[in-house]
């Protein structure tokens, strides 16, 4: 029994608050007390530049880590997707929630849109991965950059910036916007970013073991953990965050095996660097790393160097 109240650090966007409330209720269901501590990050404040220009490393996490370090909070709740692949030595991910469906969707305020390869619609996104994939599969579409939290993006779309937004299903669903979904994108072509759909709990390595264990047993889904850790092993080998057009998805193929697909979407479309393996789950992490090495060896290293300039 953990007596003290667990302080949960979170960003202030509605989606971040949903995630933090979700974690709080999981802790409470396991007889722990928890409270939210709202923290603003650089990524929330700077809205006039695209993420790839700010330099994505830690833009949504730095201020939370400061509070983890100085004890202002016990845990930080993040979308696993927003976490850089390499955490500092004094931080670790201690739990991963059940994964929501992890595919991308188009949402729109307009009804009756037909969206296919020949449609010349305007699509809003700020993700380099999504831009590269859209250029390949929707060559006639015009792509515009749109930043901000979900509500801000939807407002910008309604004001005329674009016809549709390309977003993660998970966030759209959590915010209750399923009725705006006009198209669902398949994961075998629009493979999601590392960790998409999963909420991850970050803690200081100094967090008391009994507290860590209690939080983990309340929140962690081991099946999700295996997959997201493998995806993060891939991203770590690429030395990337969310500003490179990387994709990786691990899924359970059977009781003991997982299938991992990962690679890089080239900004000019074809061909994508994409590798898939089905392996025993105990080899998940090393397979994530292997896919990254293969990606780098087959043109990925040059591509990443080009994108840096
Ligand atoms: N980069 C922002 C971000 N981080 C996590 C999600 C969605 C929720 C999730 O994937 O868990 C989103 C919004 C989006 O990509 O549409």
Nearest to 196 by CA among 174, 166, 216, 169: 169
Report the distance separating Cα 91 and Cα 298, nearest Å.
33
Counting ligand 1 atoms within 8 A of each CB, the residue from 79, 150, 228 with the most, and so the one to mutate, is 79
Multiple choice CATH, 104-184, 3.40.228.10, 1.10.260.40, 3.30.460.80, 3.40.190.10: 3.40.190.10
Residue 273 vs residue 241, higher pLDDT: 273
Lining ligand 1 with CB less than 6 A are 79, 81-82, 167-168, 170-171, 196-197
Tracing tokens 């020949």 back to the chain, one arrives at 118
Residue 257 has pLDDT above 90, yes or no: yes
Under CATH, domain 221-309 is a member of which superfamily?
Porphobilinogen deaminase, C-terminal domain (3.30.160.40)
Sign of torsion over alpha carbons 98, 199, 109, 136: negative
Contact 54, 111 (CB under 8 A): no
Q: Burial code of 165-180, b = ≥16 C-beta within 10 A, e = fewer?
A: bbbbbbbbebbebeeb
pLDDT attached to residue 106: 97
Residue 51 has pLDDT above 60, yes or no: no
Taking residues 205-222, report their average pLDDT: 96
Nearest to 78 by CA among 197, 178, 234, 212: 197
Nearest to 174 by CA among 122, 75, 98: 98
* HEC sequence for 155-215: HHHHCCCCCEEEEEHHHHHHCCCHHHEEEECCCCCCCCCCCCCCEEEEEECCCCHHHHHHH
Instruction: Write the DSSP symbol of residue 11.
Output: -
Tracing tokens 């509605």 back to the chain, one arrives at 14
What is the reported pTM? 0.94
Average pLDDT over all residues of the chain: 92
> Which helix or strand (DSSP H or E) is residue 77 part of?
strand 75-79
Nearest to 134 by CA among 109, 172, 112, 162: 162
Residue 179 has pLDDT above 90, yes or no: yes
- CATH class for the region spanning 1-97+198-220: alpha beta
**ipTM value:** 0.94
The domains of the chain are located at 1-97+198-220, 104-184, 221-309
Query: Of 85-89, 172-176, 271-275, 289-293, where does mean pLDDT reach its minimum?
Result: 271-275
33 CA distance to ligand 1 middle (Å): 27
Residue 66 backbone phi and psi in degrees, to 5 = -55, -45
Residue spans of beta strands (DSSP E) within 100-205 = 104-107, 122-124, 142-144, 164-168, 181-184, 199-204
pLDDT attached to residue 2: 80
Contact 227, 210 (CB under 8 A): no
pLDDT attached to residue 1: 75
SS3 55: coil
SS3 188: coil
288 CA distance to ligand 1 middle (Å): 21
Counting ligand 1 atoms within 8 A of each CB, the residue from 47, 168, 194, 248 with the most, and so the one to mutate, is 168
pLDDT attached to residue 241: 60
87-146 pLDDT, tens digit per residue, is: 999 999 999 999 999 999 999 999 888 888 778 899 999 899 999 999 989 999 999 999
Residue 243 has pLDDT above 80, yes or no: no
2 CA distance to ligand 1 middle (Å): 32
- Is 221-309 in the same CATH topology as 104-184? no
Nearest to 303 by CA among 263, 276, 275, 262: 263
């Amino acid at each position: 029994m953990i007596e003290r109240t667990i302080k949960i650090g979170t960003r202030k966007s509605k989606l971040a608050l949903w995630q933090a409330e979700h974690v709080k209720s999981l802790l409470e269901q396991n007889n722990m007390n928890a409270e939210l501590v709202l923290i603003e990050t650089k990524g929330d404040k700077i809205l006039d530049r695209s993420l790839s220009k700010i330099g994505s490393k830690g833009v949504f996490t730095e201020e939370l880590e400061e509070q983890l370090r100085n004890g202002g909070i016990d845990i930080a709740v993040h979308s696993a997707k927003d976490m850089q692949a390499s955490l500092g030595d004094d931080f670790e991910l201690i739990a991963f929630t059940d994964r929501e469906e992890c595919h991308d969707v188009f949402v729109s305020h307009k009804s009756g849109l037909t969206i296919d390869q020949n449609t010349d619609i305007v699509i809003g996104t700020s993700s380099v991965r999504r831009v590269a994939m859209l250029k390949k599969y929707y060559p006639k579409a015009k792509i515009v950059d749109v930043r901000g939290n979900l509500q801000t993006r939807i407002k910008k779309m309604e004001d005329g910036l674009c016809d549709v937004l390309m977003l993660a299903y998970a966030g759209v669903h959590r915010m209750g916007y399923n009725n705006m979904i006009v198209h669902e994108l398949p994961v075998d072509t629009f493979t999601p970013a590392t960790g998409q759909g999963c909420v991850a709990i970050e803690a200081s390595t100094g967090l008391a073991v009994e507290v860590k264990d209690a939080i983990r047993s309340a929140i962690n889904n081991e099946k999700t953990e295996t997959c997201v850790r493998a995806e993060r092993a891939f991203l770590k080998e690429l030395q990337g965050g969310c500003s490179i057009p990387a994709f990786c998805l691990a899924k359970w193929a059977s009781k003991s095996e997982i299938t991992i697909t990962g690679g890089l979407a080239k900004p000019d479309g074809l061909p994508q660097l994409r590798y898939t393996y089905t392996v025993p789950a105990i080899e998940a992490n090393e397979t994530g790393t292997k896919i990254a090495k293969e990606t780098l060896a087959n043109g990925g290293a040059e591509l990443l160097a080009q994108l840096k300039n």
